[in-house]
Amino acid sequence: MTTIHPLATVHPGAKLGDNVTVDAYAYIAEHVEIGEGTHVLPHATIFDYVKIGKDCNVFPGAVVGAVPQDLKFDGEITYVEIGDRVNIRECATINRGTRASGKGVTKVGSDTLLMSYTHVAHDCEVGSHCILVSYVGIAGETVVEDWAILGGGTVAHQFSHIGTHAMVGGGSKITKDVPPYVLCGREPLSYAGINLVGLRRRGFTSEQIRNIKDMYDIIYMSGMTISDACDRIEAGFPQSDERDTILNFVRNSKRGIIKAPSLTSAKADFE
């Protein structure tokens, strides 16, 4: 049974699934679709052209589907799509896409946590099982792949790409792409090893983790160019999902990947 508080504002055209709860002073516009079991808490706002999946929570002050903060936006119909079991915490904001980008949709995958005051700009793609800690801001068309974690206060330049299972230290400025499986921090943002704890928690074997580390040693420690390092990895390691994920990411990076560590190891920021 869907429950709508009498002090909530819900357009009669909005489509609410079974067992949706809408609390007092929440606002839901006409062109909104909300999956079963989702809870919209007091003072949350969901504007037009938003689709939210099942068993999500939209906390007080969150704003989902506001028009993009992009001067190219011309009032066109664009979208926000959110997966299942997503938690959108207090005062987080997720903007609609823009047609000029060629996408027109901002996406957040399932089982992702957007903590308080996070901002997901137009046409971003945030994957599943991601965590954006409080005060993270990702600019337009940023891609955050599955299982990535962005530490509190991190900001990402537009068109940035953060790879799967990567972890970015709090307060970082992302101006280059962050490859998959890595740990990074310091200023400017630099490689600090692989995300060992995260990979172990997610069931990666010791052999997989060792191979990932060895591949990044070639990329960051061998003194080779990025192109030569990728060729060495392709020739020297058997085909695997991890090898292909790293090679595809690095070879297709448009902004270039984060820098090698300085003589003072970036690992100190995480100890």
Catalytic site positions: 122-123, 140
The number of angstroms, rounded, from the C-alpha of 116 to the middle of its chain's C-alpha atoms is 14
**188 torsion bin: left (phi>0), alpha (psi -120 to 50), beta (else):** beta
Rounded Cα distance between 61 and 89, Å, is 8
Rounded Cα distance between 215 and 93, Å, is 37
User: What 3 state SS string does 108-132 have?
Assistant: ECCCCEECCCCEECCCCEECCCCEE
